[in-house]
């Protein structure tokens, strides 16, 4: 099997994640083109209101660096989150605990 370069694998991962979000009913999810760089909306994938998505499709992820990147790039109106997966593994999401708790509390209020 030919080796995929990291740029292609990243793009493929972003398309895959957008497809997964669509499967969950977020039909507007899509990969973004990242020309803005720092200071612009440089999320890898859009479609979840209020969440800045940093997408990582790698076998060896430095989650600390990925969270720093998401935190540095997110807008004040969004919560930074790293969506990541390895080969043959399910997608996972990493967020800051305080951000996750805020989302959870909001969900619980609507659930009760």
What does the pLDDT read at residue 65?
98
Cβ atoms < 10 Å from Cβ of 45: 25
Q: What is the pTM of this model?
A: 0.86
Give the model confidence (pLDDT) of 11-23 as tens digits: 999 999 999 999 9
Strand ranges in 1-112 using DSSP code E only, listed in sequence order:
30-31, 45-46, 51-56, 79-84, 92-95
DSSP-derived letter for residue 38 is T
Give the model confidence (pLDDT) of 34-66 as tens digits: 544 444 558 999 999 999 999 999 999 999 999
Q: How far apart are CA 111 and CA 104, in angstroms?
A: 10
DSSP-derived letter for residue 76 is T
Question: Number of C-alpha atoms within 13 angstroms, CB side, residue 3?
Answer: 3
The pair of structure tokens assigned to 61 is 């992820």
What does the pLDDT read at residue 34?
54
For domain 6-111, give the CATH number: 3.40.1350.10
């Amino acid at each position: 099997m030919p080796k995929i370069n990291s740029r292609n694998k990243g793009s493929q991962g972003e398309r895959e994640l957008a497809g997964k979000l669509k499967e969950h009913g977020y039909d507007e999810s899509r990969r973004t083109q990242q020309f803005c760089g720092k200071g612009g909306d440089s999320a890898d994938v859009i479609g979840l209101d209020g969440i800045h998505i940093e997408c990582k499709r790698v076998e060896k992820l430095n989650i600390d660096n990925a969270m720093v990147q998401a935190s540095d790039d997110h807008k004040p109106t969004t919560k930074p989150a790293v969506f990541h997966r390895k080969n043959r593994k399910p997608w996972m999401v990493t967020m800051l605990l305080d951000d996750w708790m805020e989302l959870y509390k909001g969900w619980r209020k609507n659930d009760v």
